[in-house]
Amino acid sequence: MDFKSSEQPAGPRREDVLPDTATAAVKVVIVGGFGVGKTTLVGSVSEIRPLTTEETMTQAGVGIDDTVGVERKTATTVAMDFGRISINEELVLYLFGTPGQERFWFLWRGLFEGALGAVVLVDTRRLEVSFDVLGRLEERGVPFVVAVNSFPDAPDYPLDELRGALDLPASVPILVCDARRRDSSRDVLMALMRYLHSLAVTPEAS
């Protein structure tokens, strides 16, 4: 399987080198159904060249992968996406994007090992693809925030309605984002960090 990046320079770029001041590293997993924007989010916010395992979709997935609502999608993540972002001089987040198709979910076990928290990306055009994802996170006891990715043609619902539709506890943060924008994706990760901090300070908040 080929790991791909957008460019292949002769040596490491300046931004590829981890700052000497970094003292804490946190593993974060980006999850969601097929085609909700996980690869896009990791790529938009990563300060290093994102590592992807996208492959062209073939006839092998016909009748297996649910492409309703994302018929124009031509590539899919088959293992993981990887990126990195420095939140400040001391804290670094390592981002692992999971494959969305259910037939690749057996890879989740390894990707979640050591993860402190997760971001669940949601597409309001296909809320149903998020139900199993949320269920798996709850079963694993992994803290998470929900980010509604704003697709141009997606219906806009009040967050309270979405919380009810997704059966989210009041304590779980839910916010709107544009996974294509670095600042918006960073805001999602900051929301997760604040949530994890609140759980550490007040565990019963979960």
Look at residue 110 and give its three-state secondary structure. helix
pLDDT range class, residue 62, cuts 50, 70, 90: very low
Note the pLDDT tens digit of each residue in 146-203: 999 999 989 999 999 999 999 999 999 999 999 999 999 999 999 999 999 999 988 6
- Mean pLDDT is highest, among 48-62, 70-84, 172-186, for 172-186
pLDDT digits (tens, 9 = 90+) for 101-150: 565 555 667 678 899 999 999 999 999 989 989 998 998 899 999 999 99
Q: Where are the domains of the chain?
A: 14-205
Q: Which CATH superfamily is domain 14-205 in?
A: P-loop containing nucleotide triphosphate hydrolases (3.40.50.300)
pLDDT higher for 100 or 109?
Answer: 109
pLDDT of residue 181: 97
pLDDT band at 12 (very low <50, low <70, confident <90, very high): very low
Non-local (6+) Cβ contacts of 118 within 8 A are: 28, 29, 30, 31, 112, 137, 142, 143, 144, 145, 192
